[in-house]
A and B are shown apart, each in its own frame.
Chain A
Amino acid sequence: MARRAGAPEVSAGSMADIAFLLLIFFLVTTTIETDAGLDRMLPPWEPPTETPPIIKQKNIFTVNINRNGQLLVEDEIVDIKNLRSKAMAFLDNGGAPSGSADYCNYCKGARDASSSDNPSKAIISLKNDRETEYSTYITVQNELVGAYNDLRNRESQRLYKKKFVEMEAQYLNPETTDEVKDELKLKVKRIQDLFPQKLSEAETAAN
């Protein structure tokens, strides 16, 4: 008479291994969410009586955003897609003649005398309407920061064979060791000084 076969024994010995596998999988794939965004410094609050410093018109790059999200750059209507290249051309211009104190020896721009003298003199002035949409404003900010980053990357690639944004991210990363940080600090500072971020934001127009 044939015996009825019982259910085969389930080995529970490998359960722990499976659990560990799962654990390791989740540990590796989970990233704790960190916020990211555009870092900006606001100008300090000054009493309105103070006279503003005189800046040459040619060293100012004006960007106006109207309520419909259209851009007026240096008194011309410009598509937002061309803003970055326009800003880069302005910052990298280096219009001061060679031999003068402001001469920029690393600029690769057009050296147009009617545009900015030196990246350290060049100021981008951003104005927006009260009705401007926030998303448009962020796009413009992003493009202007991008223009600075592109130029800084170029110089950083030339001097240190490494992208500026990578160096800065490594510098800001809390896991980086102190020795590496000290070394990076000098490099980051040097590149920042070549193209200092001078982005002025005037108070918004009332209408």
Chain B
Amino acid sequence: MSKFAKKKDGEVPAVSTASLPDIVFMLLFFFMTVTVMKDSSVKVENILPNASEVKKLEKKDRVIYIYVGKPTKEYEKVFGKEPKIQLNDKFASPSDVGGYILMERAKKPQELQNVLTTALKVDRNANMGLISDIKQELRKVNALKVNYTTYEGDAFRNLQ
């Protein structure tokens, strides 16, 4: 019988796959912890300006985002080329901002409602008229803490 049990020399030993599940799990956990869920897709051009004196926007649960910029190519036909405001997934006019802020505020837990920040993600080519309108609306609903979201960098690069 021993002649059957004898191993042939030319045979390639099988690579053990016992640890494969562990590796896959590790990868899975890694991506699970790192991934941030995107809650809305940006429908406007959104190249932010640079600034050097920035502060980090910690605690994402206390932030309400407002996007401003030119509609991207696919929305250009419907919404034109002028900079627009995007709230959640919809294009909006300045007068809708107040209502949106109130609605978002009501969704947050009670203890956070007074410490919310509004992050304005505004394209560098937008003009101030629209921003001023948004600021007026924010003042009306008493959302006074704003953050002009920027990239970190030399502010003078904005001027070129």
On A, residues with C-beta under 8 Å from B are 3-4, 6-7, 9-10, 12, 15-16, 19-20, 23, 26-27, 30, 32-45, 69, 80-81, 128-139, 141-143, 145-146, 149, 165, 168-169, 172-174, 201, 203-204
Contacts and interface: CB of A to CB of B under 8 A. Distances in A.
Given A36-B55, A36-B150, A139-B155, A16 B128 contact: no
Contacts of A32: 34, 36
A133 B30 contact: no
B55 A169 contact: yes
Contacts of A128: 128, 132
Contact of A38 (B54, B59, B129): B54
16 contacts: A12-B16, A36-B54, A37-B119, A38-B55, A133-B126, A133-B127, A134-B123, A136-B159, A138-B51, A138-B150, A138-B155, A142-B52, A165-B53, A172-B55, A172-B58, A204-B129
6 A-B pairs closest in CB distance:
A130-B129, A135-B158, A37-B149, A135-B124, A6-B10, A142-B155
Nearest to B11: A6
Contacts of A149: 53
What secondary structure prevails in chain B residues at the interface with A?
mixed
B57 interface: yes
A37 B147 CA distance: 6
Query: What's the interface size class on B, roughly?
Result: 35 or more
Contacts of B121: 35
What secondary structure prevails in chain A residues at the interface with B?
mixed
Nearest to A144: B53
Interface of B: 9-13, 15-16, 19, 22-23, 26-27, 30, 34, 36, 49-60, 63, 117, 119, 121-129, 131-132, 135-136, 138-140, 142-152, 155-156, 158-159
Contacts of A33: 36
B148 A135 contact: no
A16 B158 contact: no
B42 to A, nearest CB: 13
B34 to A, nearest CB: 6
Contacts of A80: 156, 159
Given A35-B63, A42-B145, A138-B155, 5 more contacts: A44-B144, A134-B128, A138-B150, A201-B135, A204-B129
